[in-house]
A and B are shown apart, each in its own frame.
Chain A
Amino acid sequence: MREQLTREELFRRAAFGAALVSVPGFAAACGSSKSSSSGGKNVLAKTLRFSNWPYYIDVDEKTKKRPTLETFKKRFGVDVRYTEDINSNSEFFGKIQGQLSRGQSTDRDLAVLTDNERFLSLMIDKGWTEKLDKDAIPNIANLVDVQKHPGFDPDRDYSLPWQSGMTGIAYNPDLTKPITSIDQLFEDKSLKGQITVLNDFADTLGLVLLANGDDPSKITDDAWKSALDRVKAASDSGQIRQFTGNDYTGPLSKGDLKACVAWSGDIVQLLPDNPKLKWGIPKDGGMIWTDNMIIPKGGDVYTASVYMNYVYDPEVAAKLAAGIAYVTPVKGAKEALAKTDPETAKNELIFPSDETLSKVHLIDPDALKNQSYNEQWQAVLGA
């Protein structure tokens, strides 16, 4: 007797079939190749796992390779897994805190975080970074003096600067007269609705504090309140168009913005789009921030330290500075670069003079950690 499939049986089979179909979903998955990296004391690991921000290393446009990394690979016989998966301090922290709070490794030996947000000092305070192997970093002597004792890492036990950048005011001279101060930016009615400020308070409030005559590296509650109120007023009145990340670059170059709070390195990159754009440190002072290399807990300390030492060689630092167009923390890089590329060596934005450096300030690291300050700032941003 021929058996007939009833509809029910058919569906039952389909259900089991579906379970099988899901299996390829697993089977097809080849997990990310995680080469074992532990080197051990003074033994280099096979691979250096380096997470960084995009466009934050030198790149040869033709070969698509990163020259300094290639040289490192050859010289030390270490492969480098370079991933550009950091695009925001808070997002990156949000991603790795899961592993770190459980004592698990993040599968990275090096990461780069900025010192003008709370996350860098948070990592260090929580013990989520490894101590540097300073014996492997004799070139640490080349660190510029001003970076030697930052508030969040007074003895440079856990971090070393990668590159620095400055925050100032950019403006479009076709659309407005030169804007050189926060006072102008906030008070000039002709700019209404056509300026933006940055959405992290170290940059924006730092500048406002300076404009108010206060010191951003030692913030008092009163100073904070005045600066915050000032920003809030400018936002409520519509003077400030938006609080941006680096998405100010598009509107600025297209002419939607007349002026904005901006980072030094971005302007260098915007000039080809709009050669007239100008950037400057405000009259009352600007801010300086530094991206720091850290070794997340579980990373290979020796290999990472060897890389840091490599990066602090003035010759290498010169190449990086030229490729990245931000400010190098390595003494001697400017001189090294002047030998091969004197034009770039003269660029004030990449190698600022001491006079320029005297006009920029660091943010108070305690203010960054102040939860109440953070909440108040987020409220101004709309949350």
Chain B
Amino acid sequence: MNEVLLSHEVMVYLLSESLLYGLLLLGFLVSLRLLKLWDFEAFTTQQFRLETQSYLLATILLFMIVIKLGLLPYFVYTLDTLSDIVPGAMCGAGVIKANSYGNPLLLVKSITLVLLGIWVTLHQLDLEKKNYPYFRIKTWFFVAIFVLLSVEYGLDIAYFTQIDIHKPVTCCSVIFGQVGGANALPFHLNTLQLLLLFYLSFVLLWVLIVSHKVVWSLFGVLLFAFFAYYSVVYFFGTYIYELPTHKCPFCMLQSHYYYVGYMVWGLLLGSVFVNVNRVVMQVFFHQSVETLQRLSWLLPLLFVLLCSLYVGVYYLKNGVFL
């Protein structure tokens, strides 16, 4: 038996994911019935029953998104604990590269969270109307999310069962290190240029949100996320580790850095999540959700402040930059 599967964290994680998938399957069966028989104009007992069953689907998905929001950082924490038994790994960065399923899994997890968030917002809008105008589109959207969540579950199983603890993996200094010109920044940027673009893209995002340029703000947030990722790994991260050569997105999730990585990546993911959600609601459904509006500028701001704070505090303590 693969020893990785005996690790407490992996067992707890896979148990939670399996139970959620069981619920999801139930939701899928309900959704098929709803799509086949739904007719809001009908005054039949069957239609009233279908309306109550739609609440089951909604309850399952709302429960799912709350648990998955907790399971994502727990997944990352699990990767970190596995670095003790996977040879060569010093943090989650090495563990995620233990096989070819790791990176796709992380990407699919992020996408499904965004999609679930959009579904929940759409559902709230649908309930507010008196005739369920978005019911069919919402249910078909769920079917698409179900397919993606099935892929995610399959990747979960494949990933954890295929980690070979006898095969050493590369550590973050090789994956992200820039010694000898390795892992160069995109577009051959240097650090200063990257920082400039990071802050400029943040300002641009704010301007686009405040001036209600909805579609453009989507490009704005994706651009911001792109530069933010590289800035955190290749600049801000070094101030978290207080070591100019330590470039890794995972190590900051560990206890000796006070788990600040969860806050950093959580704020960035949250910023993308909220902005994509807001844009989809406004473009496709012409609805403006106040909470999303507020969070769409607040989360990026907190993220930028947190990252900049590390640099500022380092400078104040030491009088120099790294």
Q: Do A and B bind each other?
A: no
A residues within 8 Å of B by Cβ?
Answer: none
B residues within 8 Å of A by Cβ?
Answer: none
